[in-house]
Structure 1
Amino acid sequence: MTQEALHELKSRLATIVDLNHAAALLTWDQRTYMPPGGARGRAEQLATLQRLAHELFTDTAIGRLLDRLAPLAENPDDESDDACLVRRVRRDYERATKLPAEFVSAWARARAISNKAWEQARRDSDFAAFRPHLEEQFDFARRAAEYLGYPDHPYDALLDQYEPGMTTAQVKALFAELKAGILPLLRAIVASGVQIDDSILHQPFDEARQEQFGVEVITRFGYDWQRGRQDRTVHPFAINFGRDDVRITTRFYPDFLNAALFGTMHEAGHAMYEQGTDPALSRTPLARGASLGVHESQSRLWENLVGRSRPFWEANYARLQELFPEQLGQVDLERFYRAINKVQPSLIRVEADELTYNLHIMLRFELELALLEGRVRVAELPEAWNVQMQELLGITPDNDAEGVLQDVHWSSGMVGYFPTYTLGNVLSVQLWECALADHPQIPEEIRRNEYGTLLGWLRERIHRHGRKFEPNRLIVKATGRPLTAEPYLRYLRAKFGELYGAQL
């Protein structure tokens, strides 16, 4: 009887996964190729698919099957695929049944319309045009939090959607620890008087050659082009429709090298995670990343710990010079390395250096809390954003496109998402240190453009498990201890202390 119930549960879940992948494919098309006039129709299509998926998942038949299969999940030490499936689906089911189908459908429709409105508003730097959509998205977020319930703060319910088990209080404590480590280092860098010239990165760079180099790099990393592709979009993202169709997007600037260069590495890190899940998990809710923080650890590891390292550029700089001889032919490796690692407060989050990046996340986290608590109204958001930017980074945007309108997340209702970027930064170094402890030869292999050992370690410790384990458990299994900021802060002090001669 258990096997029959398990077979029926998996069959029902497979249908739901297929519907969600169909909705994801429509979302990918919306953000890449869909003509602007299709926004309203696409909103209805996404609303229909997400309503159907939600209704199928919250069907009482799923609840009865989970009840019959409860003995499978009773032993927390049972790490079999079936036991993990029942545990994770039970958790998802209990959350999903709290959200009415009409609410899920209405939010999906509003997100699709809001996203297209944001694209236009960002192009025009017109916050007023986007404001009603943003007000609606935060209203949906507040209502979702009330439906879901929370122990201490409505943000807990929203954060849990992206980082299961994490609380607002834990994020505040982590951010306080990071701020206490980052701000003194930033002040020491300013006091050092060392000036790094990054003008070599702000020259005309042919788009086709930028793309060619990025493709070569992530192919060596291990991104499987038989199971993926790259396209252009306003705000880069990775998306999957199963482990065998995982796509990435990027954007190119004609006069700035970093955006596409490191953005391509970043999105490939996300995609290789999805491509590396165990095939046995396919068409189940376990066949994706454990959380967005764990996901971000993969993208930031490849982007920063590999892509911004000396060993990587010792292997690849000559090729970049070959593609851009006029721009970089007379620029030595050390000058280029220092340029791509320059610390300088900047307006755009996705272009921020490693040291100041988390300050961007802290700003967004604080504003989300303020909006949910009613301390700031959406109409006041541009001013609040600019004040926070000045306080944290010492700069103020000239327009809203470079400020409050720069990120896609709020237009898609993703309130509670931003902290996962910092969680990923922290975890990336914790994983990196463990990988080096197991395989000290990894830096030398990177110098030879060999990445199999590193990717294999990540496949074994992280990728293959998909969503079998909650993030905290997966992190302990992979590294031997819970998430900690110590390795990350140690890494920042070592790297930027050496670059700037800043001693702490």
Structure 2
Amino acid sequence: MEKKLQELKKRLKEIYDIHSSMSLLNWDQNTYMPKLAGDARGSQMATLGRIAHEKMTDSRLGELLDELAEQADQLPFDSNEASLIRVAKREYEKETKVPAEFISRFYQHTSQTYQAWVEARAEDDFGKVAPYLEQTLELSREYAHYFPGFEHIADPLIDRADYGMKANALRVLFGELREQLVPLVEQVTALPAVSQACIKQTFPKEKQLAYVKELIGKMGFDFDRGRLDLAPHPFMIKFAHGDVRITTRVNEQDLSEVLFSTIHETGHALYELGIDARFEGTPLHRGTSSGVHESQSRLWENIVGRSRGFWEAHYPSLQAAFPAQLGNVTLDEFYRAINHVERSLIRTDADELTYNLHVIIRFDLELAMLEGNLKVKDLPEMWRHRYQSDLGIAPSDDKHGVLQDIHWYFDFIGGMFQGYTLGNILSCQFYDAACQAHPEIPSEIAKGNVSVLHGWLKEHVYRHGGKWTATELVRRATGSDMTIAPYIAYLKRKAGELYLDR
């Protein structure tokens, strides 16, 4: 069995290296790649994607996994070896359902679509990317049909990011959440708006970058294993255990953008940096699902990063970095400004209370497209309609509407947005479990010490990587299945503190 395990790991390492190389090309495309390199990059991605798919669907790998699966019964379920066999076999069975020709065609198309989106967004011209998006929709449907027997056409797409989650169950979950949020949002937004003037001044770009770089270092981001760069749409990406990168964006007229985009991506990076190094080169060396991954970015961005305690520790250094802008601004004024609630158009800039309404709109629209109930050409108008009906505000252009998010323009339509709301829900569940184990966490954060929280997360979430499904991980870490109760309690408590009880 040991000899077969070594052969399995060698084969998986080759696939891991190819995907890491593709990630590096993707990072370059999203940061510094020349404008006219898009076609060549699409070809490169298509070639590597095809090679990786061929290796992942090699019949010898299937035989090896079958042989090991028979012997895995002799191993404890929670052993690293049994987990590797289990996860790799699941991945193999999924990959063998999809033809290599499709993978190559898809990567070629999405590289071209991304370039078209960049131009369409800059020119506020949805028509420029609409034909590409129509093809993306057809490719998304084609992918789903490689997995017959699905309950909903979106299920195979959702499975890619959040294994085991189903479209119909998510509709119910999101419906319950929306019922709780809509009246709360209406109640809060009916009150006088909180002033954001203190964070809407002019903050020099280089000083912003210098500050957040120092801040995330204090949070545990290891610059010997990562770096921080600029990109139009902030993201985290990993190439190896010793190479985890994040990007951010800077708005010189809004300090909150760089602060919370950077903290958000740092949350993702801390997860990847905390995975057991022994898993490198295998499918276990990654976050277990989109929802769990997002729970970490939202936990650090919102529960920690927007807490009063966090800024009790760090606001003096922020004032020192920007004395002209913040020297006479109190902590209370700053805390209220970074936690303002308003109906807005941009998902990534949305406050905690309204954020999930943005996600639910996107989730509903992509399901409607996949079901054939919404045509791509009608997407901008339906987007405006839903924003008006759900958030009471509608975009006057597509740049702030259907073109604002990158997701549909570099991947499939379906299966990506649900992770954001799942992450919000789980962020509170994980944080509550950590505080139950270590009640001193809030007071330690207020002293500038996040190591107790970080340590609990590394032990109960990060180090396991992809060893457990999201459902298994949540049960093991928190002692219960996923529940919206801690999240709703958190939002109501914070809304009361900032708005309703004043």
Query: Shorter-chain TM-score: which interval?
Result: over 0.9
1:46-85 to structure 2, matched below 5 A, reads 46-74=45-73, 78-85=77-84
Deviation at 1:285, TM superposition (A): 0.9
Deviation at 1:148, TM superposition (A): 2.2
Partner of 2:343: 345
Deviation at 1:194, TM superposition (A): 3.7
1:46-445 to structure 2, matched below 5 A, reads 46-74=45-73, 78-191=77-190, 193-414=191-412, 415-445=414-444
| Gaps in structure 2 of 5+ consecutive residues | none
Partner of 2:43: 44
Higher mean displacement: 423-432 or 325-334? 325-334
Deviation at 1:150, TM superposition (A): 4.4
Deviation at 1:187, TM superposition (A): 2.0
Equivalent-residue separation in structure 2 for 1:35 and 1:20 (angstroms): 22
Q: Is the 8 A contact 2:76 2:82 kept in 1?
A: no
The answer as to 2:499 corresponding to 1:474 is no
Q: Which amino acid aligns with 1:170?
A: A
Q: Tell me the secondary structure at the aligned position of residue 287 of structure 1.
A: coil
Equivalent-residue separation in structure 2 for 1:68 and 1:95 (angstroms): 18
Deviation at 1:497, TM superposition (A): 1.4
Deviation at 1:464, TM superposition (A): 0.4
Q: Which amino acid aligns with 2:447?
A: R
Deviation at 1:286, TM superposition (A): 0.7
Q: Is the 8 A contact 2:291 2:421 kept in 1?
A: yes
Q: Is the 8 A contact 2:226 2:245 kept in 1?
A: yes
| Gaps in structure 1 of 5+ consecutive residues | none
Partner of 1:455: 454
Deviation at 1:199, TM superposition (A): 2.0
Q: Tell me the secondary structure at the aligned position of residue 402 of structure 1.
A: coil
Q: Is the 8 A contact 2:193 2:341 kept in 1?
A: no
Q: Describe the shift of the 1:53–1:495 C-alpha distance in structure 2 as closer, same or farther (beyond 3 A).
A: same
Q: Describe the shift of the 1:76–1:120 C-alpha distance in structure 2 as closer, same or farther (beyond 3 A).
A: farther
Residue by residue over 1:212-261, the C-alpha shift from the partner in whole angstroms, topping out at 9 and shown as x without a partner, is 11111110110000000011111110000112100000111111111111
Partner of 1:16: 15
Q: Is the 8 A contact 1:73 1:84 kept in 2?
A: no
Deviation at 1:174, TM superposition (A): 1.1
Q: Which amino acid aligns with 1:44?
A: S
Q: Which amino acid aligns with 2:403?
A: L
Q: Is the 8 A contact 1:72 1:86 kept in 2?
A: no
Q: Is the 8 A contact 2:435 2:441 kept in 1?
A: yes
| Aligned CA-pair RMSD | 1.2
Deviation at 1:7, TM superposition (A): 1.1
Identity %: 47
Deviation at 1:190, TM superposition (A): 3.2
Q: Is the 8 A contact 1:72 1:82 kept in 2?
A: no
Q: Is the 8 A contact 2:193 2:342 kept in 1?
A: no
Equivalent-residue separation in structure 1 for 2:388 and 2:263 (angstroms): 30
Equivalent-residue separation in structure 1 for 2:388 and 2:241 (angstroms): 42
Deviation at 1:71, TM superposition (A): 2.7
Q: Is the 8 A contact 2:383 2:402 kept in 1?
A: yes
Q: Is the 8 A contact 2:229 2:247 kept in 1?
A: yes
Q: Is the 8 A contact 1:185 1:502 kept in 2?
A: no
Residue by residue over 1:96-117, the C-alpha shift from the partner in whole angstroms, topping out at 9 and shown as x without a partner, is 1010000001101111111111
Deviation at 1:72, TM superposition (A): 4.1
Q: Describe the shift of the 1:407–1:89 C-alpha distance in structure 2 as closer, same or farther (beyond 3 A).
A: same
Equivalent-residue separation in structure 2 for 1:294 and 1:489 (angstroms): 18
Residue by residue over 1:138-168, the C-alpha shift from the partner in whole angstroms, topping out at 9 and shown as x without a partner, is 1111100001234311101100000001001
How many aligned positions are there? Answer: 501
Q: Which amino acid aligns with 1:391?
A: S
Residue by residue over 1:87-136, the C-alpha shift from the partner in whole angstroms, topping out at 9 and shown as x without a partner, is 11111111110100000011011111111111111111110001111111
Q: Which amino acid aligns with 1:470?
A: T
Deviation at 1:271, TM superposition (A): 0.6
Partner of 1:34: 33
Equivalent-residue separation in structure 2 for 1:185 and 1:389 (angstroms): 17
Q: Tell me the secondary structure at the aligned position of residue 146 of structure 2.
A: helix
Equivalent-residue separation in structure 2 for 1:306 and 1:388 (angstroms): 31
Equivalent-residue separation in structure 2 for 1:78 and 1:98 (angstroms): 26
Runs of 4+ in structure 1 off by over 3 angstroms are: 72-77
Q: Tell me the secondary structure at the aligned position of residue 240 of structure 2.
A: coil
